Amino acid sequence: MSKVIVTGGAGFIGSNLVQELLKRGHQVSILDNLSTGRLSNIEFLLDDKNVAFVRGSVNNLALMRRLFSGTDFVFHQAAVPSVPRSIRDPRTSHLANATGTLNVLLAARDNSVKKVVFASSSSVYGDTPTLPKVEDMAPNPQSPYAVSKLAAEQYCRVFEQVYGLNTVCLRYFNVYGPRQDPGSPYAAVIPLFINSVLAGKSPVIFGDGEQTRDFTYVKDVVTANILAAESPATGIFNVGSGFRVTINRLAQLIIKIVGDSKIKVVHREARPGDVLHSLADISRAKTFGYRPRYTLEDGLPEVVEYLRQLVK
């Protein structure tokens, strides 16, 4: 059994990661200030003797220094995870994503943590036309959110180089799955589309819908985190499916799964900061054993069923 910390463990990805870590017999401490995470995501786990929940922020360095004592691995998921929100409020995004990561690294260094696995983002690539995205491409962030994630990656690299703290940065590509919040004004496209179709409303596509995304099911992301922690791997790795789909095609898939063929999509003006095309080269992640198991056709029905139960 390892002692692990999951920052942002009440969030969408974090709570799925906590659940799997507990299933594997690890002792898990969750740190979350519940600003974007939800207690309902983890309540069913809190009776497990191997889990503890601490309500607190990654910007409370003194708290983390105490919490990280005796810790083997830190999975740093805590973030303000939204491009549009970062455009409206760049300072909050920076404090949570860049300064928060610096604090996590300081607490990990001071407690001789074996490895920090950091949740980065494919947004750091920006709108470079080359596909697929490869880790050694020059970053070209298009939003404050992407800048904050890139800054955090650089802190990870420097802490490994200067202090010998092992770090892995996983660049997530459009993660989706159960517990992703559909009610937020900054909600991701898949839960937004599903909720709209379940309510008999048209999903709204910003732009012409021919922009493409590499969607990654949350269970694959969880597996990537655990493999990255357990392997000798350090550095930056893409975590995606290795396939892309247009937003138009995504909407049609969701309409088909829900089973309401009368619904038609609505197009609106493209949003600032959105990239046109995204596709992961996952060759590097395969070196530590990552193999995505879920296609959209596998994952979407699970999300539809999850959200259908919520609205009952």
pLDDT at residue 136, rounded to an integer: 96
Catalytic residue of the set 145, 155, 176, 290:
145
Burial 199-226 (b: 16+ CB within 10 A, else e): eeeebebeeebebbbbbbbbbbbbbbbb
Centroid of chain to Cα 135 = 17
pLDDT at residue 82, rounded to an integer: 87
> Check: CATH 3.40.250.10 for 3-176+216-240?
no
pLDDT at residue 221, rounded to an integer: 98
Parse the chain into domains and list their residue ranges: 3-176+216-240
Mean pLDDT in each 10-residue stretch from start to end of the chain (312 residues)? 95 98 98 96 96 98 98 98 92 97 98 98 91 96 96 98 98 95 77 94 95 96 98 98 96 94 93 85 98 96 93 70
Rg (CA), the chain: 19
Which residues have C-beta within 8 Å of that of residue 27, sequence separation ≥ 6?
Answer: 1, 2, 3, 4, 50, 51
Instruction: Sort 311 into a burial class: Cβ within 10 Å, 0-12 / 13-18 / 19+.
Output: exposed
Q: Which of 79, 86, 122, 131 has its CA nearest to residue 104?
A: 79
pLDDT at residue 275, rounded to an integer: 79
pLDDT at residue 186, rounded to an integer: 59
Residue 251: C-alpha distances to residues 83, 193, 308 (Å): 21, 7, 17
The string of DSSP letters for 90-101 reads HHHHHIIIIIHH
**Direct distance between the N- and C-terminal alpha carbons of the chain, in angstroms, rounded to an integer:** 39
Query: How far is the C-alpha of 287 from the C-alpha of 200, rounded, in Å?
Result: 44
pLDDT at residue 312, rounded to an integer: 66
| Cis before 132? omega within 30 | yes
pLDDT at residue 181, rounded to an integer: 84
145 is catalytic: yes
Q: Where are the beta strands (DSSP E) in the chain?
A: 3-7, 27-32, 51-55, 73-76, 115-121, 167-172, 175-176, 204-206, 212-213, 216-217, 235-239, 245-246, 266-268
* Three-state DSSP state, 286: helix
Task: Name the phi and psi angles at 172, rounded to 5.
Answer: -75, 140
Which residues have C-beta within 8 Å of that of residue 205, sequence separation ≥ 6?
Answer: 247, 248, 251, 265, 266, 267, 268
pLDDT at residue 132, rounded to an integer: 97
Query: How far is the C-alpha of 146 from the C-alpha of 79, rounded, in Å?
Result: 12
Task: Name the phi and psi angles at 52, rounded to 5.
Answer: -135, 140
The DSSP code for 170 is: E
Are 148 and 92 spatial neighbours (Cβ–Cβ below 8 Å)?
A: no
* Three-state DSSP state, 52: strand
Which residues have C-beta within 8 Å of that of residue 112, sequence separation ≥ 6?
Answer: none
The DSSP code for 266 is: E
